[in-house]
Chain A
Amino acid sequence: DAKTTQPPSMDCAEGRAANLPCNHSTISGNEYVYWYRQIHSQGPQYIIHGLKNNETNEMASLIITEDRKSSTLILPHATLRDTAVYYCIVTEYDMRFGAGTRLTVKP
């Protein structure tokens, strides 16, 4: 059973913020929210993760709702190189990847 729900695809204009949503309504207290992305023909790349609080690093920001049932990954200034499949995962240790969201950044 899928623990997360993501839209299959999204478009974003280059230079604009990309906001990728994820629903995880059955998340348990010990599970973290992880985001990875996969560019064609490469292994998945870790982006960010969080438990309860919002997180920010050099790649992105993660906004987790207070009830933890959903989250949003924000790429503040999307570039063409951010075109990839983005995976949202809730987990204690093993990464059960779903189909993700295919983000296309357009010039």
Chain B
Amino acid sequence: GAGVSQSPSNKVTEKGKDVELRCDPISGHTALYWYRQSLGQGLEFLIYFQGNSAPDKSGLPSDRFSAERTGGSVSTLTIQRTQQEDSAVYLCASSPQGQSIQPQHFGDGTRLSIL
């Protein structure tokens, strides 16, 4: 079956521009997560959506970062006024429920490069 899909796979933009990254989770998965991975580093948690509950935004690094999840399915991560330190791979994951017994399934990420 279809896995987690992220688009675009690569994005190059100029410093100061806004970018939107899209995540299509696995159908029926109610939990959705965004992570960031800088070159050679581990994953950094950004935000977590579970059903209709208020999202856990505790990992967002600044107010330039925001995310939405419409209709409990597709999610968009928006970065405003991009900076060079925002360059990283942005990974999305989904799971059937936001409980530890359910493993997360990851997409292959969006590689964001800020010039």
Residues of A whose CB lies within 8 Å of any CB of B are 30-32, 34, 41-46, 49, 87, 91-100
Kindly identify, within residues 69 to 102 of chain B, every residue whose CB is under 8 Å from any CB belonging to chain A.
91, 93, 98-101
Q: Is the CB of A46 within 8 A of B103?
A: yes
**Does B104 interact with chain A (Cβ within 8 Å)?**
yes
**Does B105 interact with chain A (Cβ within 8 Å)?**
yes
Question: Smallest distance from the beta carbon of B14 to chain A beta carbons, Å?
Answer: 24
Q: Is the CB of B45 within 8 A of A100?
A: no
**Does B62 interact with chain A (Cβ within 8 Å)?**
no
**Does B33 interact with chain A (Cβ within 8 Å)?**
yes
A94 in contact with B105 given A43-B91, A44-B91 (CB within 8 Å): no
- Residue among B31, B42, B103, B106 making CB contact with A43, cutoff 8 Å: B106
**Does B108 interact with chain A (Cβ within 8 Å)?**
yes
Q: Which residue of B lies closest to A42 (CB)?
A: B108
A94 in contact with B103 given A42-B108, A43-B109, A87-B42 (CB within 8 Å): no
Q: Which residue of B lies closest to A87 (CB)?
A: B42
Query: Can you list 17 residue pairs at the A/B interface with Cβ under 8 Å?
Result: A41-B108, A43-B106, A43-B109, A44-B91, A44-B106, A46-B105, A49-B100, A87-B42, A92-B100, A94-B33, A95-B33, A95-B35, A95-B45, A96-B45, A97-B35, A97-B43, A100-B42
**Does B48 interact with chain A (Cβ within 8 Å)?**
yes
Interfacial chain B residues near A87, Cβ < 8 Å: 42-43
A32 in contact with B100 given A94-B56, A98-B42, A100-B42 (CB within 8 Å): yes
